[in-house]
Amino acid sequence: MPEDFKAHFFNSPLSAKVTLNGKKLGDAMIVLTEDNQTRIVQFTDVSDSEYTEEDRQRWLQAFSTLVPLGECTRDCPDGLMAVEYSLSDASLALLTPAAMTSKDLWYSLPEGGDSGIILNNQFNASGSEEQSTLSWNGGLDAAIGNWSLSSQFQQDQSRAQGQDMLSRHAITSLYAQREYEQNFLRAGLFMPDSQGLLRQPYLPGGGISTLAGVMVGSSDTRMKEGGTPSLYPVYVTANREGVAEIYRNGSLINSQPVVPGLQVLDTTSLPMGIYEVDIRVLEDGRETSRTTETINKPYSWRNPDQRLRYNLFFGQQRTLWNSDPDSQNGDPAAGASLNYLLYPRLTLGMAVQKTGDERQAGGSIDWQLADALQLYGNVWRSSVTGYGFDTQAIWTHKQGNVALSHSRSWYRQDDELYQYDSRPSQQNTTSFSSTWRFSGINSITGRLSHSSRNSGVGIDIGFNTRTMIGKTAVNWRLAGFDRPYGDGSSLRNRGVSLSASFSLGSESRSGNISLGSRTDTQGERDFYTSASVNQQWGENSPIRSTLATLTGDRHGVGVSASNQFDTALAQGSFWAQSSTQDSRLSGGINTGSLIAFGKGEVAISKLPSYNQGGGVIVNVDSDEENTKLLAFYPGGQKTLSAGRNFVPVDAWKPGTIQLDFAGTDAPALKIEPEYLSYQHIRGGVNAYNVRVMKTVTVMGRLVNSKGEALGGASVVNHASRTMSESDGLFTLEMQKSIPVLNVEQRSGATCEIKLDPNTPHRTQDDVWFVGNLVCDGLTQAAKTETAVSDKTGKIKT
């Protein structure tokens, strides 16, 4: 290589394509030395890279100092095997042992283990003049090395009119769990669940409340793929405006307002798993219906190579801090559940369980007969309660879907523990529902239902369409229904309703008007009308949306309001309702908060939309008090303010949080660091300190005392770093409040250059032109004068 070219090639920033195991990591600026060493200064273009930002930041850190080219023999960062630079195509190739791995399905555990504590608590309240219910559910997730510690407790209080307050409390789980690549191990106090199984066959009877013992089973937790949403919707039918309360194991987990007619409950905030819930509909402060539904929120079969999945548990029934007497406390309990993938569209399940003297068994089939047809069936038998089965089928087509379900149970009446006078020996329930879209604006929905507990068949049908009135789009719904009024009642509830929804002058405000007739509890005809307004508030408002409804019928006028709120410390909803009959008042609230401990830091935040398992505490120190940052992470994005913030992140999967400024304008500020890497097991929390600095761009030229250019020198400030070109020129961002540059030459000599902010530098658009800066390799202070140009265009100081 010609000597004149060496000065431009070595010890100067070069553009190169960086590859990792044959795949592009990104385009970057690198530095090469004559003694066959290299470093990566920064990545410039990553648009067509398959690797994550976390991967790039890891290798940028590994190559922040000079790394020898060729085979790596000692002090190899991140298992680096070899580095090669190709002059022909200007590429830097990195090779690691991962290049020899054909299939990497599992996330590794964090190096050195993990630590942290996440406490969450959820408060639900619903009440009226006749009854009230308060529920406080709390949980703890902690990371200790490679083990996760989990605990849950609940405190409930309920009061009915004329009765004393009833209080219930219990610790429902307290266990440690270790996740392996295909299995998990759990020990402690827990309720056996369906972790690791796609289909948990249903088992009747009293079942197991909490168990002190050991559980092992299949696990996909550390597998590199995501989960699936809920499978089957949950329907309720109300006669009047009211509230639906959702209970799991007797504890309130959610409540939401309901309107007259057939509707689907919002189950997105309910926990994952397959479990039964009690849904109680309250109207005018009185319970009008109670149904038992199954929540189906399982995980898909994510590893076809593992055709057999299992759960095994054994121990002794125990409870902690339990206010309810438990006659089975101390009974031995054991069980096993299996799923077998017969072929990709057919999954078989089996479960056996023994609790004290009761023996239970069940089997299930999950069969996707075609792309559009899904069938699920379950049979069960108990030595105490009896036997039964249930089936569900869903057909999905281009115009909608059709769902059919049927269940039947035969109960034993000869056991004193299950001797109920009000329960028949046989019960059955059947339902048929369908949605059909005729076009983009016309659709029809319908549902038929029959239960042995009610007399006759229930029918609900509705037609939806959209028309234009002027420039306003109006959505119309015409609905009719004919169904039993309630359990044990011979009355029929028949009615029809017409409703219209439309925008009210802006996208953030909408309205709804409806009118119709229905049958009241005395069998008389009840005409009603209602009008509601839904207002979406701005992102800076703690109240995100408000729904207000005015209702009138022959009993009088009723008012209801529901609000969704979202603050830095808590989020949720609250609602209030005044009945048209006697103006009875009722209301409720659902909210929760979170406390995280990690790396010696503590943060309080709102509950995330779902339990992601880990978290990052971000302490933002900003030169601008009102600075808002946006944190982009795999789970979404979050606004960060100056001070302490908490960002929920997914456990097990490594990731990166990218920080940027909110809005479209780019302020003269610098974020350091811009990327925050993490990897946690469940309960893990770490912390970062982020500095937001006022900056100015500095352009200058490094020379020695003889005026000779200093090329290939590192120029570092609190805000950024760069390297000088072969002619000594450099450009970098500098923190305005600390105008100090540290220079390190290839020889290892360093010097410190202090720029006097009071010196009238030549500036343009927040750029300082500082001219020649003298650095002889000794620690010194250099005061610069304004750089000006003479008529020849040469720079002088």
Give the pLDDT of residue 745: 80
Q: pLDDT averaged over the chain?
A: 84
Q: What is the mean pLDDT of residues 540-565?
A: 91
Q: How confident is the model at residue 59 (pLDDT cuts 50, 70, 90)?
A: very high
The whole-number pLDDT of residue 417 equals 45
Average pLDDT, integer, range 187-205:
84
| Rounded alpha-carbon distances, angstroms, from residue 324 to 171, 314, 319 | 12, 23, 10
Residue 51 DSSP symbol: S
Q: What is the pLDDT of residue 788?
A: 33
Task: List the one residue out of 91, 54, 49, 96 whose CA is nearest residue 77.
Answer: 96
Name the residue with higher pLDDT: 609 or 429: 429
> How far is it, in rounded angstroms, from Cα 269 to Cα 608?
10
**What pLDDT, on a 0 to 100 scale, did the predictor assign at position 95?**
83
User: Strand 767-774 and strand 685-703: pairing?
Assistant: parallel
Amino acid sitting at position 123: F
Q: Which residue has the tokens 């030229």?
A: 701
Give the bridge partners for 716, in sequence order.
721, 742
pLDDT for 17 equals 92
pLDDT of residue 97: 72
Phi, psi of 554 (to 5 degrees): -70, -15
Is the pLDDT assigned to residue 440 strictly greater than 60? yes
Q: What percentage of the chain reaches a pLDDT higher than 70? A: 89
Residue 514 has what pLDDT? 94
The predicted pLDDT at position 186 comes to: 97
Please write the tens of the pLDDT for every residue from 242-255. 889 999 877 888 88
In the block, which residue shows the tokens 């999945």?
309
* pLDDT value at 488 more than 90: no
Residue 647 pLDDT class (50, 70, 90 cuts)? very high
* Distances in whole angstroms, Cα of residue 697 to Cα of each of 117, 124, 670, 736, 766: 42, 53, 11, 9, 6
The single-letter code of the amino acid at 454 is N
Q: What is the pLDDT of residue 143?
A: 97
Rounded Cα distance between 496 and 515, Å, is 9
Query: Looking at residue 684, what is its pLDDT?
Result: 96
The arithmetic mean of pLDDT across residues 463-486, rounded, is 90
Annotate 442-478 with b (16+ C-beta within 10 A) or e (fewer).
ebbbbbbbbbebbeeebebbbbbeeeeeeeeebbbbe
For 16, residues 6+ apart whose C-beta sits below 8 A from its C-beta are: 27, 28, 29, 30, 85, 90, 91, 92
Give pLDDT tens digits for 275-297: 788 899 888 878 888 888 877 66
Q: Give per-residue pLDDT as tens, 337-386.
A: 999 988 767 899 999 999 888 899 999 999 888 878 999 999 999 988 88
For 553-572, what is the mean pLDDT?
90
Helices (H) and strands (E) counted in the chain, each on its own, are: 2, 55
The pLDDT score that the predictor gives to residue 99 is 54
Per-residue pLDDT band at 584 (split at 50, 70, 90): confident
Angle at 463 between CA 462 and CA 469, to 5 degrees: 135
Among the residue ranges 13-17, 453-457, 648-652, 702-706, the one predicted with the least confidence is 453-457
**Residue 232 confidence class, pLDDT cut points 50, 70, 90:** low
Higher-pLDDT residue of 129, 431: 431
pTM assigned to the model: 0.75
404, HSE (Cβ side, Cα atoms, 13 Å): 5
- More confident: 9 or 395: 395
Q: What is the pLDDT of residues 659-677, one digit of tens each?
A: 998 877 767 788 988 889 9
Kind and range of the H or E element at 744? strand 740-744
Q: What are phi and psi of 220, to 5 degrees?
A: -110, 10
Question: pLDDT at position 519, please?
Answer: 82
Query: String of b and e for 34-62 (b: at least 16 CB within 10 Å)?
Result: eeeebbbbebeebeebebbbbbbbbbbeb
Say how far residue 60 (Cα) sits from the centre of its chain.
29
Least Cα distance to 243 among 592, 580, 576, 591 occurs for: 576
Of the two residues 292 and 436, the one the predictor is more confident about is: 436
The residue among 316, 319, 328, 278 whose CA lies nearest residue 133 is 278
- Give the containing element (helix H, strand E) for 62: helix 53-62
pLDDT of residue 795: 32
